[in-house]
Amino acid sequence: MNTSDLDSLAILPPCLDDIEILHQEPGFLIINKPSGLLSVPARHPANRDSVLVRMQSLYRAASIVHRLDFDTSGILVIPLSPACLSEISKQFQSRRVSKTYTAVVAGIVKKEAGIIDLPIAADMENRPKYKICAATGKESTTEYKLLGVDEIEQTSRLSLHPITGRSHQLRLHLQAIGHPILGDVFYADEISQLKSPRLLLHATEIQFYHPDTKLPVIFNSSVPF
């Protein structure tokens, strides 16, 4: 990468928050990623700080099998061996891993539950953004449940279950139905952005099959907002 390429890349603010280890086994960790931390290093050398780098400084064999956006906080599974990485990777590929998120969005959501089924494609003219696109987008499905509303603030708290795992899926789907996530600097309107200093999206639960016992396991992370 040459100097002009580096100059075009943004340098992210440092993340001063620690990674919390929620559960530890010989084959994997369950951690809580803070908002404002990358899952893996970005292209600019100044953006090396990430879950992967921090975990490998403590556990040499640590690897990444799935990611959370820089702005999203919450639960991640970190394999600690090649065998565990392979097994959990296969579960993600076959959609046997279930994830749940909590979000606070703008506006009062009227339905108690619903399904958002809108295709997502890369927005090549506005990278790194994505867009809803019927022509070239990939199938993308999100289930949601209403957890509560704040009539004074005119916001709603939702539980989100992505059936597919597209980049920016939850942000885009909620923006598309008129309820952007508060603090979303990519897709929310200015008022919704300014209602929170961070993206109000947190990965609260992950369920998969234990690599050794093959039995289902569930891990949770409390919502910080």
Residue 74 burial (10 A CB sphere; 0-12, 13-18, 19+): buried
The residues of the chain that CATH labels 3.30.2350.10 are: 3-94, 101-201
Q: Which two tokens stand for residue 99?
A: 């994830």
What digits encode the pLDDT tens for the residues 19-41?
999 999 999 999 999 999 999 99
CA–CA distances in Å: residue 152 to residues 107, 148, 149, 183, 220 = 10, 12, 9, 18, 29
In terms of CATH, what superfamily is 3-94? Pseudouridine synthase (3.30.2350.10)
Q: How confident is the model at residue 2 (pLDDT cuts 50, 70, 90)?
A: very low
Whole-prediction pTM: 0.94
Reply yes or no on whether 18 is catalytic.
no
Task: Classify domain 101-201 by CATH architecture.
Answer: 2-Layer Sandwich (3.30)
70-111 pLDDT per residue, tens: 999 999 999 999 999 999 999 999 999 999 999 999 999 999
Query: Which of 7, 18, 49, 69 is flagged as catalytic?
Result: 69
